[in-house]
Every structure is written in C-alpha cells, then in structure tokens.
Amino acid sequence: DTEKLVDTFARVYTPIVVLTALCMCTFPWIVNHETGVYWTRTGLITIVVACPCALIISTPVTYVAALAAVSQKGIIVRGGQHLELLGRVKRIAFDKTGTLTQGVFQLLHFETTTTTTTTTRRRSRKEVLGILALVEAPASHPLSDAIVRGAAKEQVDVPSTKQVTNHTLLPGEGI
C-alpha cells in the first residue's frame, strides 16, 4: 500500500516540481541577466531539495531493513506488504497451551451447537467429540492429534461400532 501510494504521489509530484524549476530557470532571463542567474540558481536548488528520490527509495530500503531484522530473529516474512499489515494490528491474542512456544496444540474447549431439524436427533457433546476423534484418528496433522488427545483426556468413547470409509488424506486440505 505504501509503495503504491508513494509511486502515485511521485507520478504527480515529479512533473510539477520539474515544470516549476524549469519555469524558474527560463522565464526570469527575460527580465535581465542578474535576475536570470538568481532564479536559475534557485530553480536548481528547488530540483535538488524537492527531488522525490529520497521518498521513492525510502520504501524499498525500509522493507529490506525490516525483513533483514526479522530474518535474523528466525522469522520469515514474504514481503513488505505483510509487514505493513502487521503494523496495523491493534491486538494480538496468545494462547497459553504451548502452541506458539512448543508447537503443541491442545483441545481446551469444545462446544456443540444445536440446529432445529426434525430429521436428526441432537447428539451430546461427548458423542460428537467421539465421532470427531474417530474421523481425525487416521490423519497426521497436529490439530488432528490435539483432537484425538483431547477426546482421550476426557475419556470419551470413540465409537467402535462405526467405521470411517472413503477417508482420504489430502495434505493441506483438511478432512
């Protein structure tokens, strides 16, 4: 976003500065030599001072510096736009389960919701957790492991009378 904003600004700003400086360097010569010299010098100073080069180059340099700093801390960020988005974050929620520090997921809270249908009976929370553990057991994803461990920790009976059929593991696609 910032890079696009700077580019858009420079597209308008640069021609205005160059045109202004060009007018400052040419038209005063009509008056006399001394005025022409003064305004040519002023026009050249205007181009140097008002040059958007520093503005244009500051964005990529800032991105590179920030990416280098976070990579030294072992964090990989795909680009400057992601850093910009991170700068707009107002709140961050951390869990205390060790997910971020140890990479271990835990099932802390599991709740079912009800829907009003006449064709299906309402299943209890333990029943739903048991069926979910049955479906997730063959998967190797850490979240699946957390669900299976959570069901075991709560001593939920995984239905032995039911069997999962047509269960395909698609890496990165869920169940």
| 143-163 pLDDT per residue, tens | 888 889 999 998 888 877 777
pLDDT at 61: 79
pLDDT at 69: 87
Residue 125 predicted with pLDDT over 90: no
Q: What percent of the chain has pLDDT over 90?
A: 15
Mean pLDDT of 126-148: 85
Question: In the predicted model, what is the mean pLDDT of the chain?
Answer: 80
Residue 52 predicted with pLDDT over 80: no
Residue 76 predicted with pLDDT over 70: yes
Tokens of 127: 């029943």
Residue 27 predicted with pLDDT over 90: yes
Could you tell me where the DSSP H helices lie in the chain?
A: 2-26, 33-49, 53-72, 80-87, 99-102, 125-136, 142-153
Nearest CA-CA partner of 153 in 92, 91, 95, 109: 109
pLDDT at 56: 67
Residue 97 near residue 105 (C-beta atoms within 8 A) = yes
Among 84-88, 141-145, 167-171, which stretch is predicted with the lowest mean pLDDT?
167-171
Secondary structure (3-state) at 96: coil
pLDDT at 116: 61
Kindly list the catalytic residues. Answer: 95
Residue 3 near residue 60 (C-beta atoms within 8 A) = yes
